[in-house]
Amino acid sequence: MKSNITQFTHNLVLIGGGHSHAIVLKLWGMNPIPGVRLTLITDRTYTAYSGMLPGQVAGFYDFEETHIDLHSLSQFAGANFYLDTVKDLDLKNKQIICEKHPPIAFDYLSLDIGSVPEKSTILGASDYAIPAKPVSDFLTAWEKIKTTIKNYPKQLYTLTIIGGGAGGVELACNMRAYLTNIMKNLEVNTNNLTINLIHKSNSLLTGHNHWVGKRLESILLENGTNIYLNETVFEITSNSSDNYVISCNSGLNISSNWVFLVTQASAPDWIEKTGLRTDKTGFILVNDYLQSISHPNIFAAGDIATMENYYRPKAGVFAVRQGQPLFNNLQSIILGNKLQSYSPQRFYLSLIGTGNKKAIASWGKLGLEAAWLWKLKDYIDRKFMDSFKDLSTEKN
């Protein structure tokens, strides 16, 4: 794509350093449009690659292996890097309202700010539960738990995960694997650890094929995990600073030292208030160009976007796939070129790590479990992360 508008300046601002924007920054660095001022506003310098998060929990990866350095990536892209949290948009005056910086002007805007686990339906969740996202907060809590158990290994511990989708199940397997290993190394009875998984449907991994859900259920049961199906949590209360009670509609009460929230993805509240058209759950509605259906100069990708013509789950695999078409269309709109349609694939391969260097593949109606699938997952994930390292050789 050749630019013929080097004489004037457009402001393109990217909010959030999710998977799609990481790809946009890389592609921009390889093929910038002269005269366009590019800015990234992100609330953190290092952004997590979701595919490797459960593996990091199991102790297979360290922080550097699972995080992209957005500051370096912005330097490569020639982008301004603002470390700040966006809290609102002034769409009339084309300004971004941040927590720390004065309003930031834009001509074109793209949002890739992800999602957070739904908690509005659970009383006390904001105070007492640990959401799986933002990932950095989750990892901080996980480090503390590991330290507590290492320091006091002989005590009884209960850890409960609310949400039996792919993320919750994968966390349950990988947390169990890591903590059991610690306890075995310290020669402590692994029965001291109880892990509970609560899910509101009658089977785990709703949306995946039946075999995958059933196989993961057996793996968890064999590991000693307690699975509670058809249970809807309505409240979490605190007994003491390290003991909580999780109450379900059925009357079931579960006592736990830590409560993790891996419920369905929800959009941050502030998005709906901006005036951008959203779906009924607050995610930004975009057309096939990943362009807001209410504001043509605004684009969105990843979890925060809902494509009006396609229903797809909120998964990192789509955020990754949207990187290239988002980049193409951001450049096209600035250059006055025709935008290109993007259609997300209907079937996608999910590789769910089970914490023992095996993985389960879920692809449409097919499911398979094998050690080589873990190797494949590891290869795919490392290759993706490697593509953000040593970018100096990537300049055109």
Q: Does 145 bind ligand FAD (CB under 6 A)?
A: no
Q: Does 262 bind ligand FAD (CB under 6 A)?
A: yes
Ranges within 175-204 binding ligand FAD (CB under 6 A): none
Residue whose entry in the numeric block shows the structure tokens 């004037």: 8
Among 13, 19, 246, 267, binds ligand FAD (CB under 6 A): 19
Instruction: From residue 371, give the alpha-carbon distance in Å to each of 216, 359, 364.
Output: 15, 6, 20
Q: What is the DSSP string of 71-90?
A: HHHHHHHT-EEEE--EEEEE
Judged by beta carbon, residue 246 or residue 300, the one nearer ligand FAD is 300
Structure tokens that stand for 335 in this block: 């250059």
How far apart, in whole angstroms, are the C-alpha atoms of residue 349 and residue 369?
13
Q: Does 55 bind ligand FAD (CB under 6 A)?
A: no
**Alpha-carbon torsion 80, 49, 318, 30, what sign?**
positive
> What x-and-dash track marks residues 287-316 binding ligand FAD by CB under 6 A?
---------------xxx---------xxx
How far apart, in whole angstroms, are the C-alpha atoms of residue 396 and residue 394?
6
Q: Does 171 bind ligand FAD (CB under 6 A)?
A: yes
Spatial neighbors of 190 by CB under 8 A, at least 6 apart, are 180, 183, 184, 224
> Considering only 35-43, 151-159, 325-333, 356-364, which stretch makes contact with ligand FAD by CB under 6 A?
35-43
Nearest CA-CA partner of 48 in 24, 85, 18: 18
> Considering only 17-25, 191-199, 278-286, 338-346, which stretch makes contact with ligand FAD by CB under 6 A?
17-25
* Beta carbon of residue 151, minimum distance to ligand FAD (angstroms, whole number): 25
Burial (0-12, 13-18, 19+ Cβ within 10 Å), 172 = buried
Judged by beta carbon, residue 106 or residue 153, the one nearer ligand FAD is 106
Q: Does 274 bind ligand FAD (CB under 6 A)?
A: no
Structure tokens that stand for 322 in this block: 């949207």
Q: Does 51 bind ligand FAD (CB under 6 A)?
A: yes
* Beta carbon of residue 40, minimum distance to ligand FAD (angstroms, whole number): 9
Q: Does 56 bind ligand FAD (CB under 6 A)?
A: no
Structure tokens that stand for 176 in this block: 């169990």
Among 39, 42, 56, 278, binds ligand FAD (CB under 6 A): 42
Q: Does 261 bind ligand FAD (CB under 6 A)?
A: no
Ranges within 318-337 binding ligand FAD (CB under 6 A): 319
